[in-house]
Homo-oligomer: A and B are copies of this chain.
Amino acid sequence: MNNFEFYNPTRIIFGKGTIPDIDSHIPENARVLMCYGGGSIKTNGVYEQVVSALGDRIFFEFGGIEPNPDYDTLIKAVEFGREEKVDFILAVGGGSVLDGSKLIAAGIPYTDGEVWEIVKGGKSAKIDQALPIGVVLTLPATGSEMNGNSVISRRASKEKYVWVSELVFPKFSVLDPTTTYSLPENQIRNGIVDAYVHVMEQYATYSVNAPLQDRQAESIFLTLQDIGPEALETPPDYEARANLMWTATNALNKLICKGVPEDWATHMIGHELTALYGLAHAESLAVVLPHLLWFQRERKAGKLMQYAHRVWGLAGDDESVIRQALAEMTAFFNHLGMPTKLTDYGIDPDEAANLIEAKFDKKGTKLGEHSDITPKDVADILRMSQ
């Protein structure tokens, strides 16, 4: 096992009827900026519950944070928050609202430079303070409710980066599974697939003798496979939604990646597909992952064989077992209604391959746990997605 640090101070408040509990965790005299997305919280009852829990506190609202939150939107919230001297950020929504709220929380006190510098700081974003953040999660998927990650897009310059800081771990996150009841089916499906791929990025690399982390990752695969179809059902089933919500959080609370290598190539390629063709994040992952894993079957043989044996109960130790396991995984995605080929979206794999190869070539991008997936390899992977 590699050396590591683990730190995750977010308080999770989980279950039906827990939104009122935010009252105990926000200072009485806070000036709160409530951040949200397209406004669905105003029609599904969540907004009323949050406002009621805030009681007599002074609060302001900033709505309209879009999927793949845009820097130009968020900077308006930063300016508004500074004007109103807010000192607590309450994010109500899914991963995009949470990621955006993290930048708002770090951006408001960041007055010595341009807020974009925080995003450009990447994995060691240089901030020395951030406003405290509370979360009411309404969409299980990204894990942002229990980590210090934030993915920010800047449409004006066609950029998209992840930045990370311990200072933007939420102080608390309320996970009430009933808030997911009004979600359309595709968002639940995206959440299941997103969580599954998060786990695969932390699992399917090479062994460093970390059997607990492997088994914890497999726990999440198996649980998602068990509960996924049920979680999609309408009318919604509380237990299935609860299990999905907690499982998606555990998929990216950074426990299973401790002491082991990580991949994230599927995410890097997926981000480009989202930028080029507007695929939802999870959709972009599902058209890359099976092909990338097959392409890398020799490099990842040990883990993929273990995945085949333990997660799909397959016997044997030749390449056909890996093929079969990836077919099972693909069938699981498809069974949820998630396409796994670019052609399913009418996208020409050759075109995608050429465009992304050219971009990665220009930037000298190499991907994967060994940094050995070249731009040409990426093109080959994308051409398999048909």
The chain A residues found within 8 Å of chain B, CB to CB, are 1-18, 209-212, 215-216, 218-220, 222-223, 226-227, 239, 242-243, 246-247, 250, 255, 258-259
Partner of A209, one of B219, B222, B243: B243
Kindly state the separation between the CA atoms of A362 and B207 in the bound complex, as whole angstroms. 54
Cα–Cα distance between A269 and B218 once the two chains are bound (Å): 34
The contact of A258 among B5, B14, B18, B243, by CB within 8 Å, is: B14
The residue from B5, B220, B246 contacting A12, defined by CB atoms under 8 A apart? B5
> CA of A18 to CA of B223 in the docked complex: distance in angstroms?
35
Q: Are the C-beta atoms of B14 and A5 separated by less than 8 Å?
A: yes
Task: Say whether chain A's binding surface is mostly helix, strand, loop, or mixed.
Answer: mixed
- With A1-B246, A2-B15 as given contacts, are A223 and B219 in contact (CB-CB < 8 Å)? no
Complex: A14 Cα to B1 Cα, angstroms: 10
Partner pick for A215 among B5, B210, B212, B222, CB 8 A cutoff? B222
Pairs A–B under 8 Å by Cβ, sample size 28: A1-B239, A1-B242, A1-B243, A1-B246, A3-B14, A3-B16, A4-B12, A5-B11, A5-B12, A5-B13, A6-B11, A6-B14, A7-B12, A8-B8, A14-B259, A15-B259, A209-B243, A210-B243, A211-B226, A211-B227, A212-B223, A212-B247, A215-B220, A216-B216, A216-B250, A219-B219, A246-B259, A255-B255
A30 to chain B, nearest CB (A): 20
Contact yes or no, B6 A9, CB < 8 A: no
Cα A2 to Cα B1 in complex, Å, equals: 34
Interface residue from B6, B15, B218 paired with A1 (Cβ < 8 Å): B15
A4–B15 CA distance with the chains assembled, in angstroms: 7
Q: Report if A212-B246 is in contact (Cβ < 8 Å); known contacts: A219-B218, A219-B219.
A: yes
Tell me the nearest residue of chain B to A18, going by C-beta.
Answer: B3
Q: In the complex, what residues of B have CB within 8 A of residue A14's CB?
A: 1, 3-6, 258-259
A7 contacts which chain B residues (CB < 8 A)? 9-12
- Closest residue of chain B to A240 (Cβ to Cβ) is B209
Residue of B nearest to A226 (CB): B211
Distance of A216 Cα from B220 Cα, bound (Å) = 8
In the assembled complex, the CB of A214 is this many whole angstroms from the nearest CB of chain B, namely 8
Bound CA–CA A200/B306 (angstroms)? 25
- Docked-complex contact B243 and A223, CB < 8 angstroms: no
| B212 close to A250 (CB less than 8 A) | yes
Distance of A14 Cα from B258 Cα, bound (Å):
9
Residues of B contacting A5 with CB < 8 Å?
11-14
* Other-chain residue from B6, B17, B216, B239 in contact with A219 (beta carbon distance below 8 A): B216
Rounded to whole angstroms, the CA-CA distance of A50 and B349 in the bound complex is 58
Provide the bound-state CA to CA distance between A242 and B213, in Å.
12
**Separation in Å of the A171 CB from the closest CB of chain B?**
10
Q: How far is the CB of A226 from chain B (nearest CB, A)?
A: 6
Among A7, A209, A215, A239: residue with most chain B CB under 10 A: A215
Q: What residues of chain B lie closer than 8 Å to A227, measured between beta carbons?
A: 211
Q: Given the known inter-chain contacts A223-B215, A259-B246, please indicate yes or no for A209 contacting B239, CB distance below 8 A.
A: yes
Least Cβ distance of A377 to chain B in Å?
32
Residue of B nearest to A258 (CB): B14
In the complex formed, the residue of B with least CB distance to A17 is B3
Q: A11 to chain B: which residues have CB within 8 Å?
A: 5-7
Q: Contacts of A258 on B, CB cut-off 8 Å?
A: 12, 14, 246
Q: How far apart are the CA atoms of A15 and B211 in the complex, in Å?
A: 16
Contacts of A3 in B (CB 8 A): 14-18
- Nearest residue, chain B, Cβ from A16: B3
Q: Complex formed: what's the CA distance from A100 to B17 in Å?
A: 38
